[in-house]
Amino acid sequence: MNKLQERATDLLKGGTVKLIIGFEQGNNKIRPFFCEKPEDAEKLIYSDDCSTNNAVYLTKKELIGDNKIAIIATYKEIASIIQLNKENQIKKENLMVLTVDKDGDVTELTSFEEMEKFCEENTPAPDPVVAALIEKIDKMNREERWAYWKSELDKCIRCYACRAACPLCYCNRCISEVNCPQWLDPWKSTLSNIEWQINRVMHMSGRCTGCGACAKACPLDLPIGILTKKMSTDIKEMLGEGEGGNVLSTFNPNDKENFIH
């Protein structure tokens, strides 16, 4: 057993945690794994190919209940946990955050300061494919852009995998499910597919950590991850880092716009 598996065995055996959310080898890909028994700990793996963002499970009450749990976290999970905490969605006393370094050593991040520091030191390099696509679209004029998104989002089948895979899409009642008033047509059509993505991206503005889980989850491989990515870049440029939360939940009494008063 490696150090991660040993640590997991100890945590489960000693009853420190009831559940460890980590990764296991699936069918030709690494997938999320819910480890509840010490004898299953040897299935836990950790590598650069752990690509899902397992922080998505932290807001699922039916899975974690009120139990103390551990999560094997990569940069993605940690960035999401920090944001979830800002939004009061995390019970820190019930959550143990474990990271694995390149030597296989397991470290517990016990405070949000440590998590912030981890993220600063381990920020992944920007994905060149994503950057190139954003650049390509930035160079398009309005008509070309409209044609591009119309053609891409026309393919969307409204399975909401993008919503389901996102750790920050945790609303009990999504805007797409509200029918009084009906904000969005809930059926597949080019325009309402576009509206759905616009809504998703607006709700993510200043919150999205750029993990790309939405794009990875899309069964049709639609370039929806660049929407949230571009939005977060724009928000940072226009409004700064957003110290006190995010752009949708903060306001300044001295705002030059008067609708806030």
Partner 1 sequence: MEKYIIKTEQIDAWLKRIIESVPRVLAPVSSGTKTEFRRIKSPEEVNNKSLTTTVSAKAAAFPPVETLFKYQKDGKDTTLTEDSFDKYPETVLWHARSCDAMGFSPLSAIFDWDYKDNIYDERRNKLTIVTFACNQSDECCFCTSVGGGPGNVEGSDIQLTMLNATDTLVEVMTEKGQKLVALLPDIFQPLSEEVDKEAVLAKIPVQFTKEEIKEHVSNAFDSPVWKRQSARCLGCGACAFVCPTCACFDIQEDAHGNHGRRLRCWDACGFSLFTQHTSGYNPRPTQATRWRQRILHKFSYMPERLGVYGCTGCGRCSRACPVDMNLQEHLISIANSNHE
Query: Where along the sequence are the contacts to partner 1 (CB under 8 A)?
Result: 26-29, 31-34, 52, 56-57, 62-63, 155, 157-161, 163-165, 177, 185-189, 213, 216-217, 219-221
Q: Which is nearer to partner 1, 2 or 189 (CB)?
A: 189
Written as one letter, the residue type at 225 is G
In the complex, minimum distance from the CB of residue 211 to partner 1, in angstroms, rounded to a whole number: 13
In the complex, minimum distance from the CB of residue 241 to partner 1, in angstroms, rounded to a whole number: 30
Residue 222 CB: number of other CB atoms within 10 A? Answer: 21
CA distance 232 to 82: 16
Q: Which is nearer to partner 1, 187 or 259 (CB)?
A: 187
Contact 8, 36 (CB under 8 A): no
95-100 and 69-72 strand pairing: parallel
| C-alpha separations of 77 from 33, 58, 118, 137, 254 in Å | 14, 10, 11, 29, 35
Give the residue among 191, 253, 203 at the shortest CA–CA distance from 231. Answer: 203
Q: Which is nearer to partner 1, 12 or 119 (CB)?
A: 12
30-35 and 19-25 strand pairing: antiparallel
Q: Which is nearer to partner 1, 176 or 209 (CB)?
A: 176
In the complex, minimum distance from the CB of residue 54 to partner 1, in angstroms, rounded to a whole number: 9
In the complex, minimum distance from the CB of residue 134 to partner 1, in angstroms, rounded to a whole number: 16
Run of H or E residues at 56: none
Contact 192, 172 (CB under 8 A): no
CA distance 222 to 105: 37
In the complex, minimum distance from the CB of residue 69 to partner 1, in angstroms, rounded to a whole number: 12
Identify the three-state secondary structure at position 71.
strand
In the complex, minimum distance from the CB of residue 27 to partner 1, in angstroms, rounded to a whole number: 5
Q: Which is nearer to partner 1, 218 or 231 (CB)?
A: 218
Q: Which is nearer to partner 1, 2 or 51 (CB)?
A: 51
In the complex, minimum distance from the CB of residue 16 to partner 1, in angstroms, rounded to a whole number: 20
CA distance 209 to 198: 17
Contact 42, 1 (CB under 8 A): yes
Q: Which is nearer to partner 1, 63 or 140 (CB)?
A: 63
